């Protein structure tokens, strides 16, 4: 839908103009009107030359899918609506010129800077060539985002996912354009948020994700409860639970991302242990003794901190409640008051979290950095904090100072690039009036006179107490009392009424901000001296960042908030304020100072149908063709200039050309229709000849197919007829089928023969035609199995079987216990030295069989039914043999069996 609505210049009357440079009027009102018109149609992106302006719509737009990304790859910067075009052009310029680039994303908190950075990174991940190795690198770079957001982002009054640190990420590309690695630099994490949040704000996301999403087992190991209200550091803003944030789902995303970027279980466990230690530290509460000194009555939370950090609990307690003063001869412990103890506790929590965040960034860098030493080109993404006015602390002062430096860099690079282009093209440069904020940067950073220098010089500011605040403010008033951008207590009465004790005000390029020197106490992270190091390090880091950016080609994205309430409407007053302080009007005036439109000759030659000399094909140099075209269109000498590209001064000139081109295209369409008709007729004649050949060929193929089918029908009919006559005697009609039946049965029988002589059931039922043959085969097979079995019997086994045969003849069917005893193997009988027969038999049947064989009187044994002799367990009995008139057996008076 968006692409249909845009249509480059032709859509200007319906949805505004996508490039502000082509506006007829360059007033602030015209700019805002154009933004509003496009915003109403969900067109949130606009150009000022090559600068991209983005407005946060506060809703999901279906313009970030893979299909949309593919459309933008490798096209001209102005061929498609502003969207991925800036990212794609930076990429292809880097490949063509083999140099380094960076994209500066700026705007206030909540304008969408972080989202813009993520979308660009996703675009590079999709657009670059794909291999398994590169996919791994891309996954790691993409997955670094949710981890850094969890540990570095928080809900603020302006933004539910506000970056509370500055991030610069270099994406490294090899000579083929493959993304092979990356490196992240982080700036000024807002550590004060760990210990304190304003009303309506939250701590860093990771704390809530751990408490709400961590497993029961993990929380138990860390000594945590699944209740954010239980922790002092999570409840100061009174909005621990926010409907728009799903901490449980975000926790799963973070866990998954840590695995992708190669965090093993040990490092992950330590990481969450440190996060939990900060929560426990925030719950350490102090009491006071009679002298006003801080005491710790309940050591439960402190012991958890010590355990999770691997430190001695007593040493930790000493550090939280005493100050160590070293003299030449000894160390003295001076007890803290409760206020000092709380301050040290919070300072420690902030220091622990700050060091953890630095460690985390370093670990991610180890994972995503490319170790290959060959030369790489890079595209840097700078997602820096937005200009802030809402919370008075030292981080805010540094954030706004950073924004001043970046604005200064933007002005320098923009003017420099524009002026260098005009000089290279031999076109006269017309100076543009703009606000140069160098005066504000000098106010903060100038040697010996700037605010930071005064802060570093004043040793008093390194000690706590009211004297520090007043001393520092007096030094500021003394050094810069007459500065036009510094307002303080000595100002006129009206201004003085708006300032509290210890306040001073800076007139930034983005507006006035009041600062309170109390930040000196609240941000002395480690024993009151760290602010000096912080200020020095941040100033140094910012200087290095500026130098690094100056060495790269710059691209800009300016992000605007559409409203303060995160709704889907356009707040003109808010937009006007942002347009002003982001320098959009100055940038527009710079771009319009000379020529509104500039385009490569090859691109401008799309208008060649407007000139007979260049239509339909221009075979000469592109510049010569453009010159002919411009003259034919009646361009006056002061309306355009020719350099390495064509420069057109007024948008109306381009609009007239575009309108003529649209009219010409309409006429050309009619000509094309007639020509296409003529071509189609010629193609039809050719096709007609080819159709004859195709007809003959298809006829030959059809005849072959007919013969195959006739043969198949004949075979099938014969088979069906044979099946119908299968029960009759063998004839010509059924002989083939019967042969098939016999063969089929024999094949199945071969795979299903019985494997033992005892198997009498698995013989396949034969068809009628095979009944007799099947019986013969069955007998042969069983005889074969019997022969194999007999040949495998040993002499010993044969003797046993013979004995069992005799036993079977004598006892089978005559005694109930016969089936149980016959299964047991018979033991050998041995003859003693004196000729006595010694036998050991488990069953009577075996004994009697052995006796009958030795005596050779098998017929002497008679089996009498109905006598039952019970033998008690553990007792013996005997059988007495005697002679009598007739065979009989009975139980004698002595309990023996008499035979």
- What is the distance, to the nearest Å, from the Cα of residue 538 to the centroid of all Cα atoms in its chain? 31
| Contact partners, residue 153, CB within 8 Å, separation at least 6 | 114, 161, 162, 163, 164, 204, 205
Residues of the chain by 3-state class (helix, strand, coil), percent to 5: 55, 10, 35
Task: Give the tokens for residue 509.
Answer: 């390029």
Which token pair is 241?
A: 């639970």
Q: Which residues are catalytic?
A: 109-110, 114, 159, 162-163, 386, 388
Dist CA 379 CA 179 (whole Å): 10
Whether residue 561 is annotated as binding a ligand: the answer is no
* 830 backbone dihedrals φ, ψ, rounded to 5°: -125, 150
Give me the residues paired with residue 515 across strands: 504
Distance of alpha carbon 433 from its chain centroid, rounded?
46
Element (H, E) at 890: strand 890-891
Rounded-to-integer distance, Cα 814 and Cα 745, Å: 45
Question: Would the annotation count 110 as a binding residue?
Answer: yes
Phi, psi of 47 (to 5 degrees): -100, 150
CA 164 to chain centre: 21
- Give the SS3 label for residue 335: strand
Residue 512 in tokens? 């006035």
DSSP state of 18: S
Are 382 and 103 contacting, i.e. CB atoms less than 8 angstroms apart? Answer: yes
Give whole-number Cα distances, 371 to 124, 135, 179, 720, in Å: 20, 16, 13, 75
792 in a labelled binding site:
no
Whether residue 773 is annotated as binding a ligand: the answer is no
Q: How far is CA 389 from the centre of its chain?
A: 34
DSSP secondary structure string for all residues of 419-462? HHHHHHHT-PPPP-----THHHHHHHH-TTTSHHHHHHH-GGGG
**Residues paired with residue 598 on neighbouring β-strands, in sequence order:** 647
Best CA proximity match to 629, nearest among 663, 652, 653, 594 = 653
| 640 backbone φψ class: left, alpha, beta (φ>0; ψ -120 to 50) | beta
Q: Which of 555, 619, 559 is closest to 584 using CA atoms? A: 559
Smallest CA-to-CA distance from 103 within 432, 379, 462 is with 379
- Binding-site residue positions for ATP: 107-114
């Amino acid at each position: 839908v968006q692409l249909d609505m845009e249509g480059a210049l032709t859509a200007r009357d319906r949805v505004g103009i996508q490039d502000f440079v082509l506006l007829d009027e360059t007033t602030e009102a015209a700019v805002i009107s154009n933004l509003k018109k496009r915003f109403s149609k969900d067109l949130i992106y606009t150009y000022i030359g090559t600068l991209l302006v983005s407005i946060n719509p506060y809703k999901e737009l279906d313009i970030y899918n893979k299909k949309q990304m593919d459309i933008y790859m490798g096209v001209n910067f102005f061929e498609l609506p502003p969207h991925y075009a800036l990212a794609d052009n930076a990429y292809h310029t880097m490949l063509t010129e083999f140099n380094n680039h960076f994209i500066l994303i700026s705007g206030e908190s909540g304008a969408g800077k972080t989202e813009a950075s993520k979308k660009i990174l996703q675009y590079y991940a999709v657009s670059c060539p794909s291999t398994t190795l590169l996919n791994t690198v891309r996954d790691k770079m993409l997955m670094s985002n949710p981890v850094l957001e969890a540990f570095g982002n928080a809900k603020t009054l302006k933004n539910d996912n506000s970056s509370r640190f500055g991030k610069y990420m270099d994406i490294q590309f090899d000579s083929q354009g493959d993304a092979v690695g990356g490196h992240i630099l982080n700036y000024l994490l807002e550590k004060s948020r760990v210990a304190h949040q304003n009303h309506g704000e939250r701590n860093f996301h990771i704390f809530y994700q751990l408490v709400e999403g961590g497993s029961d087992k993990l929380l138990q190991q860390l000594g945590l409860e699944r209740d954010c209200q239980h922790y002092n550091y999570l409840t100061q803003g009174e909005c621990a639970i926010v409907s728009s944030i799903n901490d449980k789902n975000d926790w799963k995303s973070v866990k998954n991302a840590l695995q992708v970027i190669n965090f093993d279980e040990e490092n992950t466990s330590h990481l969450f242990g440190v996060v939990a230690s900060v929560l426990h530290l925030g719950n350490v509460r102090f009491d006071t003794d009679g002298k006003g000194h801080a005491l710790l009555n309940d050591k439960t939370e402190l012991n958890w901190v010590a355990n999770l950090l691997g430190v001695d609990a007593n040493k930790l307690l000493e550090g939280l409640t005493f100050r160590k003063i070293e003299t030449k001869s000894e160390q003295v412990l001076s007890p803290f008051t409760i206020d000092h103890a709380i301050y040290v506790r919070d300072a420690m929590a902030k220091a622990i979290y700050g060091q953890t965040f630095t460690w985390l960034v370093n670990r991610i860098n180890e994972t995503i950095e490319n170790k290959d030493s060959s030369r790489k080109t890079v595209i840097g993404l700078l997602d820096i904090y937005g200009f802030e006015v809402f919370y008075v602390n030292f981080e805010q002062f540094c954030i706004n100072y950073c924004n001043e430096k970046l604005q200064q860099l933007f002005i320098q690079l923009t003017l420099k690039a524009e002026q260098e282009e005009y000089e290279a093209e031999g076109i006269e440069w017309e100076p543009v009036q703009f606000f140069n904020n160098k005066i504000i940067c000098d106010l903060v950073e100038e040697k010996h006179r700037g605010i930071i220098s005064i802060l570093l010089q004043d040793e008093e500011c390194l000690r706590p107490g009211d004297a520090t605040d007043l001393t520092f403010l007096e030094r500021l008033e003394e050094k810069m009392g007459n500065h036009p951008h510094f307002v303080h207590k000595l100002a006129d009465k009206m201004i003085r009424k708006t300032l509290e004790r210890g306040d001073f005000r800076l007139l930034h390029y983005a507006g006035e901000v009041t600062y309170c020197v109390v930040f000196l106490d609240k941000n002395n992270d480690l024993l009151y001296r760290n602010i000096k190091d912080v200020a020095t390090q941040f100033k140094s880091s910012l200087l290095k960042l500026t130098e690094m950016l100056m060495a790269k080609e710059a691209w800009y994205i300016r992000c605007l908030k559409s409203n303060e309430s995160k709704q889907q409407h356009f707040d003109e007053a808010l937009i006007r304020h942002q347009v002003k302080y982001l320098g959009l009007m100055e940038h527009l005036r710079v771009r319009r100072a000379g020529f509104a439109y500039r385009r490569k000759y090859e691109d401008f030659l799309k208008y060649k149908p407007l000139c007979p000399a260049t239509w339909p094909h221009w075979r000469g140099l592109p510049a010569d063709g453009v010159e002919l075209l411009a003259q034919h269109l009646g361009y006056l000498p002061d309306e355009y200039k020719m350099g390495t590209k064509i420069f057109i001064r007024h948008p109306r000139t381009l609009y007239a050309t575009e309108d003529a081109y649209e009219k010409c295209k309409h006429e050309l369409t009619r000509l094309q229709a007639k020509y296409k008709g003529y071509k189609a007729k010629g193609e039809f004649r050719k096709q007609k000849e080819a159709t004859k050949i195709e007809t003959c060929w298809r006829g030959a193929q059809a005849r072959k197919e007919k013969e195959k089918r006739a043969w198949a029908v004949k075979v099938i009919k014969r088979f069906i007829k044979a099946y119908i006559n299968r029960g009759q005697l063998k004839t010509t009609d059924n002989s083939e089928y019967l042969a098939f039946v016999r063969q089929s049965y024999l094949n199945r029988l071969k795979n299903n023969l019985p494997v033992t002589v005892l198997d009498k059931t698995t013989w396949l039922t034969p068809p009628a035609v095979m009944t007799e043959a099947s019986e013969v085969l069955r007998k042969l097979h069983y005889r074969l199995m019997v022969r194999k079995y007999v040949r495998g019997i040993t002499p010993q086994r044969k003797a046993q079987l013979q004995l069992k045969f005799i036993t079977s003849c004598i006892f089978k069917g005559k005694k109930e216990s016969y089936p149980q005893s016959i299964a047991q193997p018979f033991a050998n009988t041995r003859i003693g030295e004196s000729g006595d027969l010694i036998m050991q038999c488990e069953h009577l049947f075996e004994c009697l069989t052995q006796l009958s064989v030795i005596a050779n009187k098998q017929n002497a044994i008679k089996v009498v039914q109905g006598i039952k002799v019970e033998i008690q367990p553990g007792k013996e009995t005997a059988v007495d043999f005697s002679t009598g008139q007739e065979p009989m057996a009975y139980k004698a008076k002595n309990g023996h069996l008499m035979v």
